[in-house]
Amino acid sequence: MATRTELYNDDHHAIALCATADPMVSLEGRDFCSTSDLSPTELRATLDLAHELKAHPHKYRWALDARQMVMFFEKASLRTRLTFETAINTLGGSAIFVDQTQSPLGERESLADMARNLERWTSVIILRTYAHETITEMALYSKVPVINALSDLEHPCQALADFMTLEERFSTVKGLNFTYVGDGNNVCHSLMLTAALLGAHCTIATPRKYAPKAEIVVQATEIACTTGGTLIFTQDPVAAVTGADAVYTDVCTSMGSEHEETKRAPIFKPYQVNEALMAHARPEAVFMHCLPARRNAEVTDAVLDGPRSIVFDQAENRMHAQKALLLMLVGRHQNSKAD
């Protein structure tokens, strides 16, 4: 197993980084449609590799030399697109971007036919879609790995980066009190699953009709039972945040649900993360957001720009976490030149 022996310092904190990821764990040829596609051991190996890549990027400069990655995005993106492109570019590969914002995937050509073409030209397929079924169907027919870069059900790459960031701050997330406040959406789903896989104590506070999907709750609860993690669900944001080590929120109206914004605004107002709410968390607690944020809606400027905020650390770590994911899925053992 990986050992954390090398100290990494920056302006904010010092953490012990893993010197080597577990060489016995391989995800080569697998898909990453959901956080639950990974076992606790596989997630641990991926995060260990992400820490290593961040500390020693030069060792992996040509790990994916001449590999091609194609990205089909039905939704607009800043962080997801740029972090995936920089991830593969700095590993020696290249990215091809296809804008699908005006033409949903599967409309012009079947997903099965697309997959059978793409697998002959590229090493990995990245999809950012509305329907989660678009991703799972592409994965069904493709012989190369398919990665979920966001769907209406999950945002697993975001959660990878988020918990990598928490490990930088707290060294370990096992037993950490992690609280999510807001809409029980795709981001919430992946955070719940990742927290469960890593043995964290996860509390979710949402309005009554905006709780996470039951099937994700069941999945996360079953996983937590095997890792020592816990899951608590409440409608009380103050109770949820009390004693938290990390407080996370997201927009109250996700892309594709803009028509509900007026309806949702008063419902989610009590769930705004402001200084009064953060005062109930532990003194060393951090604030997190996947971005983009609607300032002074789900979070106030004072919190988002305040000393507890680690939102831009999260954004940076999207690149490092996704580099690790690409290496694990494409086959880092065969392609890495770290030695």
Checking if the pLDDT of 11 tops 60, the result is: no
Looking at the chain, the whole-number percentage of residues with pLDDT higher than 90 is: 87
CA 213 – CA 115 distance, rounded (Å): 29
Residue 118 sits in the same domain as residue 196: no
The answer to whether the beta carbons of residues 301 and 38 sit under 8 Å apart is no
Residue of 250, 252, 289, 320 marked catalytic: 250
Rounded mean pLDDT, 282-299: 97
Higher pLDDT, 6 or 312: 312
Q: Is 158 a catalytic residue?
A: yes
Query: What 3-state class would DSSP assign to 125?
Result: strand
Q: How many CB atoms lie within 10 A of CB 185?
A: 24
At residue 2 the predicted structure's pLDDT band, cuts being 50, 70 and 90, is: very low
Higher local confidence (pLDDT), 24 or 46: 46
Of 289, 318, 320, 332, which residue is the catalytic one?
Answer: 318
Same domain assignment for residues 78 and 176: no
What pLDDT digit, counting tens, does each position of 26-65 carry? 899 999 999 999 999 999 999 999 999 999 999 999 999 9
Q: Quick one: 134 and 235 in the same domain?
A: no
What pLDDT, on the 0 to 100 scale, is given for residue 210? Answer: 97
At residue 21, the pLDDT reads 57
**pLDDT given at position 337:** 35
Is residue 81 flagged as an active site residue? no
> For residue 16, is pLDDT > 90?
no
What is the domain count for the chain? Answer: 2
Same domain, 160 and 294: yes
Amino acid at 250: D
55 and 179 within one domain: no
157 catalytic per annotation: no
Task: Tell me which residue range forms the domain holding 178.
Answer: 156-314
Residue tagged active-site, from 51, 81, 128, 289: 128
Query: Considering 157, 188, 202, 290, which one is annotated as catalytic?
Result: 290
pLDDT at 333: 41
Q: Could you tell me if 98 and 174 lie in one domain?
A: no
Asked about 264 being catalytic, the answer comes back as no
User: Residue 128 catalytic?
Assistant: yes
> What is the CATH number for 277?
3.40.50.1370
162 and 143, same structural domain? no
pLDDT over threshold 60, residue 14: no
Contacts with 31 (C-beta within 8 Å, 6 or more apart), sequence order: 37, 139, 142, 145, 146, 147, 329
Q: Is 169 an annotated catalytic residue?
A: no
212 and 303 part of one domain: yes
Does position 190 have pLDDT exceeding 50, yes or no? yes
Do residue 61 and residue 149 come from a single domain? yes
Same domain, 143 and 202: no
Residues 58 and 16 in one domain: yes
DSSP 283-314: TT-EEEE-S---BTTTB-HHHHTSTTB-HHHH
pLDDT score of 8 = 32
Q: What pLDDT is recorded for position 334?
A: 40
From the list 67, 155, 189, 289, the catalytic residue is 155
The more confidently predicted of residues 178 and 1 is: 178
Average pLDDT, the chain: 91
The per-residue pLDDT for range 213-266, each reduced to its tens digit, is 999 999 999 999 999 999 999 999 999 999 999 999 999 987 667 778 889 999
| 3-class DSSP state of 94 | strand
Do 190 and 131 share a structural domain? no
Of 31, 44, 81, 158, which residue is the catalytic one? Answer: 158
Q: pLDDT tens digits for 313-323?
A: 999 999 999 99
Q: For residue 199, is pLDDT > 60?
A: yes
